Amino acid sequence: MAKKTLIEDPEDIEIFEAYKRGELKPVRNSKQLIASARVAAANFRMKKEARINIRLTEGDLDELKAKAEEEGIPYQTLIASVLHKYINGRLVSKGA
């Protein structure tokens, strides 16, 4: 069974893993950086605003739940991540 984490967003998990590997370094002048990041986040619409309903076969849903458990994330987060990667052109087939 995969180890559960309190972090649910796949991008946040990726950042946390990079931090644990020592790939992230502190920055100087962090107050100015934080202020500019807040402005950028506000302009980017960071809030989740929409809900959807989707019908899936029970088999597909079971497979999604199993994959999500392997990743240690909720299955809804996995679905959202896959859709986000697809619309941003970052989802590619294994053969590509």
Would you give per-residue pLDDT tens digits along the chain (96 residues)? 555 557 778 888 888 888 889 888 777 777 877 888 888 777 776 566 788 999 999 999 999 999 999 988 999 989 988 998 888 888 877 765
Please indicate, yes or no, if residue 44 is contained in any of the structural domains.
yes
pLDDT on residue 4:
58
Number of domains in the chain: 1
pLDDT at position 63: 96
What range defines the domain where residue 81 resides?
Answer: 10-87
State the DSSP string of the chain: -PPP-S---HHHHHHHHHHHTT-----SSHHHHHHHHHHHHHHHT-S----------HHHHHHHHHHHHHHTS-HHHHHHHHHHHHHTT----TT-
Question: Residue 45: inside a domain, yes or no?
Answer: yes
